[in-house]
Amino acid sequence: MRARTFDLTLLRTLVAIADTGSVTAASKRLAFSQSTISMQLKRLEAQMELRLHEREGRQVRFTADGERLLTHARRLLALNDDAWQDMQVHQVSGELKLGIPEDYASLLPSVFSYFHQLYPGVGLEVICGVSADLVERVRSGDLDLALVTRQRNSPGGEVIRREPLLWAVGLSYQPLLRDPLPLALYTRGADVFREVAEQSLQSAGRRWRVAYTSQSMTGLAPVVMAGLAIVVVTRSMLTPMLKPLDESSGLPALPSIELALHRAPHRPSEPARRLAELIHEQLADGEP
């Protein structure tokens, strides 16, 4: 009888659903579409000829068979990851510098963690800064990689993801949405968010005033949460304390922005190439 072998990709999907509690969250972790995650779970059930899960709204609950397989899946994946790490540890080493705006750092924790597990011999330094400045540092060779908002005056880079821009206010306190609109804006030149917001309001014939400026959402968020201003964010930058506004607010629709990965002009090092691959896998599930 021919030996039967588990598909580790399907087992990784099973574990991701168990860890996150839903197909939606698992799709974000694994950088697959929700339909792909659902299809992989069905394929695993078909191969096992067992019912492994039940739906409870958007949540997934595992059956007794699913829980039993989950235990085996975790052991098999741990062994697989250990083997990869053992084989890679002596092959990939060196220093690596990645530039990223502070507001995008929250997109990459799982990438950083997984990269360190795979390549513990690589010293990764993450530098936060303004998108335009980071692009220049990559071009000069000071940084190996930079994940930034694609700039209109210096496009370049590989588009990794597109994200819609949204107007947002504080969850508990909101300003009146009448002219002149109080805005919390990025410092001029810090990113394209300010330019996009001002152009959209001007095209809609709306008036505004600058209530607060900062180079990151860390500085803008307290003013917005206090109900003193409106801010422009990407969907991934929303926090539980921010409330997105829809078309009923009367504010003009905003376009999408592009997240681009810039690479230094010289031939990329092996660590840079591996990190770029992980970033692409993790983030390339945004708006098409």
Render pLDDT for 34-81 as a digit per residue (tens, 0 to 9).
888 889 989 998 988 889 888 877 788 889 998 999 999 999 999 998
Co-location of 235 and 150 in the same domain: no
Q: Collect all residues with Cβ–Cβ distance below 8 Å to 103 and sequence separation of at least 6.
A: 216, 217, 218, 237
pLDDT band at 25 (very low <50, low <70, confident <90, very high): confident
Residue 173 has pLDDT above 90, yes or no: yes
Considering Cα of 117, then 122, then 123, then 125, what sign does the dihedral take?
Answer: negative
Residue 25: CB atoms within 10 A of its CB come to 18
DSSP string, 214-254: ESSHHHHHHHHHTTS-EEEEEGGG--TTEEE--GGG-PPP-
Q: Structural domain tally of the chain?
A: 3
Residue 288 has pLDDT above 70, yes or no: no
Quote helix, strand, coil % in the chain, to nearest 5: 45, 25, 30
Look up residue 219 and give its two tokens: 């500085």
Co-location of 118 and 251 in the same domain: no
Considering Cα of 72, then 76, then 77, then 78, what sign does the dihedral take?
Answer: positive
Residue-number span of the structural domain to which 217 is assigned: 162-257
Co-location of 81 and 217 in the same domain: no
> Between 161 and 28, where is the model more confident?
161
Q: For residue 147, list its beta bridge partners.
A: 261
Cα–Cα dist 16/10, whole Å: 10
Return the CATH number at 147.
3.40.190.10
Q: What is the pTM of this model?
A: 0.67
Return the CATH number at 15.
1.10.10.10
Q: Pseudo-torsion of CA 192, 194, 199, 204, nearest 10°?
A: 130
pLDDT band at 286 (very low <50, low <70, confident <90, very high): very low
pLDDT in tens, 113-128: 888 888 888 999 999 9
In a domain? residue 85 = yes
- Give the 3-state secondary structure of residue 286: coil
> Which of these ranges, 56-60, 62-66, 216-220, 241-245, has the smallest mean pLDDT?
56-60
Co-location of 122 and 68 in the same domain: no
The closest alpha carbon to 257, from 159, 184, 168, belongs to 159
